[in-house]
Amino acid sequence: QVRLVESGGGVVQTGGSLRLSCTAPEASMYAFRSYCMGWFRQVPGKEREGVARISGPGGTTDYAESVKGRFTIDRDNRKNTMWLDLNSLKPEDTAMYYCAVRLLACATLRSTDFNYWGQGTQVTVHS
């Protein structure tokens, strides 16, 4: 079991920025650095959408087309922490954002590939 805790959501205007954080407080540093980590988002009535992922030791990243050039995913394995920087936000970015862990190497941005999930943090972008 891997517990994940997200923070950093909020309400911003179009064009604004936010930083989301995700920590795994009980994971060992050795285990955390091996995890593939991802960010997903979901609005009511729609499927959960993959936003970005980052591999463990190498930090290789992958992004959904809709956020490329605007969002940046990063991690600090010494702090068991992952971030998602959201810039140039648009109203269509409004969603509940979740971080997730995949115990195996990164594969895709499908939610079914990930094993453990945080509780979510709300991002709301007003026009």
Sheet holding 81-86, edge to edge: 5-7, 18-23, 81-86, 71-76
**Burial tier of 75 (Cβ tally within 10 Å: 0-12, 13-18, 19+):** buried
pLDDT at 29: 86
With cut-offs at 50, 70 and 90, classify the pLDDT of residue 83.
very high
With cut-offs at 50, 70 and 90, classify the pLDDT of residue 37.
very high
- Mean pLDDT across the stretch 31-53? 96
